[in-house]
């Protein structure tokens, strides 16, 4: 039995774009096309798709308005939308993000990227569904059979559990009753302070105790649990003397959330931060510069003649080299710095906490750039092939609180192209639009 293909609705007023998308996607997806926003709305309402590709620039009703109408329809509100656009302005991107679009695909289309972004978006939707389904299953189990129950006699420092609690943690009946210290020893050291604070708040303020933390299983590994409890008895002085609560296993949910986080913010090949996470960290770095009177630097790297490696030895060999490049870059910077992959063979290194003096900051950044040049010039062992490559690196500084993150990245990109024009395998510096020459 053939698996059901995901249904994609592509809305674009340009027939050539629809033909290009249809040719590329038809083998993997069930593709429907519409040439206007109103036609796309009608088709989606008749049969809800799994994902919508939506052109921004269309006559009569543009993509933004079409997306608003999708969001107003309860049956279509949750369908992920990817914008197709030739626009690069921040305003259009912000408008789309306000509407909750899943991603952007720029024209002209790179069909490999189109497919990858569609797959990633559908995977994120699937993971979200799995999280919701997992939560529903856990709720059913709790209502039907009960999760782990605990009863803490505070005045005698003893805690009791039901069989479900022992089963959840892989413990035998000897752990049905024990001193509270035995329980505390099983809480992950990094989470213990949060658990104790929540318990104190509940005991002092008569509020519900609720916290998520890791607890050690009988076989030694840690699992995530959600713990909820309440003070049910106090002594004559009002001091809490007994608490009862319920604990449930949320390890699957936490793992799914971690998978979603990784798909959304990290490059799947190199496991480096992606563009989205880089831009967030760059914005935070600007804020820290102002607070701490420091500067930062951005190094934009492109591997020279990378396409030749792919064309000669195939994409698998190219991917293997990119993984090695990522490892070498990460090994050249401090823990507080960021190495990100933008896509293809383009990488960015974000340096933080450089000296406030621009000359000193430039010298520090240059030293890192030279270190990167050396590391990336070493031969790459790719299976049975020894491959030699080099990077072209663009460098720019930033430090003002009103600097635009896109402008900073553009400066670094321009400096990188200056390095390409200067013969490759070199470092170029660009500050406020003025090239200062070889770094």
Whole domain around residue 277: which residue ranges?
Answer: 266-438
Which of 73, 108, 140 is where one domain is finished?
140
* % the chain with pLDDT above 70: 91
Q: What is the pLDDT of residue 260?
A: 81
Domains held by the chain: number: 3
Q: Tell me: pLDDT of 269 over 70.
A: yes
Query: Comparing 6-20, 88-102, 108-122, 344-358, which segment has the lowest mean pLDDT?
Result: 88-102
Is the pLDDT at 351 greater than 80, yes or no? yes
Domain containing residue 25: CATH number: 3.40.50.2300
Q: Does residue 284 sit in the same domain as residue 414?
A: yes
31 & 14 share domain: yes
Residues 85, 151 share a domain? no
Could you tell me the pLDDT band of residue 434, with boundaries at 50, 70 and 90? very low
| Residues 138-191 pLDDT 10s | 545 544 455 788 899 998 999 998 888 888 899 988 889 999 999 999 999 999
User: Rounded to 5 degrees, what are φ and ψ at 151?
Assistant: -135, 110
pLDDT digits (tens, 9 = 90+) for 217-254: 999 999 999 999 888 888 878 888 999 888 989 998 88
Residue range 318-334, pLDDT digits in tens: 999 999 999 999 999 99
Examine the fold and report which residue of 254, 288, 318 is the final residue of a domain before the chain moves on.
254
Burial profile 101-140: b = 16 or more Cβ within 10 angstroms, e = fewer: bbebbebeeeeeebeebbeebbebbebeebbeebeeebee
pTM flag (> 0.85)? no
Same domain, 321 and 338: yes
* Eight-state DSSP code of residue 146: -
Which of 94, 120, 140 corresponds to the end of one domain?
140
Look at strands 148-153 and 103-106 and give their pairing. Answer: unpaired
Same domain, 248 and 280: no
Instruction: Write out pLDDT tens, residues 270-305.
Output: 999 999 999 999 999 999 998 899 999 999 999 998
Q: How far apart are CA 114 and CA 106, in angstroms?
A: 9
**2 vs 309, residue with greater confidence:** 309
For residues 187 and 213, the answer to whether their CB atoms sit within 8 Å is yes
Of the pLDDT bands very low, low, confident and very high (cuts 50, 70, 90), residue 96 is low
């Amino acid at each position: 039995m053939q698996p059901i293909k995901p249904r994609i609705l592509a809305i674009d007023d340009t027939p050539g774009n629809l033909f290009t998308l249809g040719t590329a996607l038809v083998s993997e997806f069930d593709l429907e096309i519409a040439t206007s926003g109103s036609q796309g709305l009608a088709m989606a309402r008749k049969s809800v798709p799994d994902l919508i590709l939506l052109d921004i620039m269309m006559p009569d009703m543009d993509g933004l308005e079409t997306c608003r109408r999708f969001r107003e329809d309860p049956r279509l509100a949750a369908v992920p939308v990817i914008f197709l656009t030739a626009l690069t302005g921040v305003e259009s991107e912000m408008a789309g993000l306000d509407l909750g679009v899943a991603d952007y695909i720029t024209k002209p289309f790179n069909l490999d990227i189109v497919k990858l972004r569609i797959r990633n978006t559908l995977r994120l939707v699937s993971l979200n569904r799995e999280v919701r389904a997992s939560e529903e299953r856990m709720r059913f189990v709790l209502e039907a059979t009960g999760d782990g129950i605990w009863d803490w006699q505070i005045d005698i420092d003893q805690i009791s559990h039901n069989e479900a609690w022992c089963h959840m943690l892989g413990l035998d009946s000897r752990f049905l009753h024990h001193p509270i210290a035995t329980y505390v020893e099983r809480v992950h050291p990094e989470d213990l302070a949060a658990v104790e604070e929540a318990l104190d708040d509940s005991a002092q303020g008569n509020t519900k105790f609720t916290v998520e933390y890791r607890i050690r299983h009988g076989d030694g590994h840690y699992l995530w649990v959600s713990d909820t409890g309440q003070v049910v008895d106090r002594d004559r002085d009002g001091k809490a003397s007994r608490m009862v609560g319920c604990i449930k296993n949320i390890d699957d949910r936490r793992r799914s959330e971690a998978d979603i986080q990784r798909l959304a913010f990290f490059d799947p090949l190199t496991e480096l931060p992606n563009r989205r996470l880089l831009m967030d960290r760059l914005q935070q770095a600007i804020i820290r510069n102002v607070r701490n009177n420091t500067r930062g630097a951005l190094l934009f790297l492109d591997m020279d003649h990378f396409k030749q490696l792919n064309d000669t030895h195939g994409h698998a060999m190219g991917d293997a080299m990119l993984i090695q490049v990522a490892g070498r870059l990460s090994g050249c910077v401090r823990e507080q710095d960021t190495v990100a992959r933008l896509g293809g063979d383009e990488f960015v290194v974000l340096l933080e906490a450089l000296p406030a003096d621009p000359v000193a900051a430039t010298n520090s950044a240059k030293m890192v750039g030279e270190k990167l040049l050396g590391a990336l010039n070493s031969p790459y062992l790719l299976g049975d092939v020894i491959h030699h490559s080099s990077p072209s690196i663009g460098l720019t500084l930033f430090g003002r609180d009103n600097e635009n993150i896109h402008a900073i990245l553009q400066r670094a990109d321009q400096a990188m192209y200056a390095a390409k024009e200067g013969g490759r395998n070199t470092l170029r510096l660009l500050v406020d639009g003025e090239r200062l020459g070889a770094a």
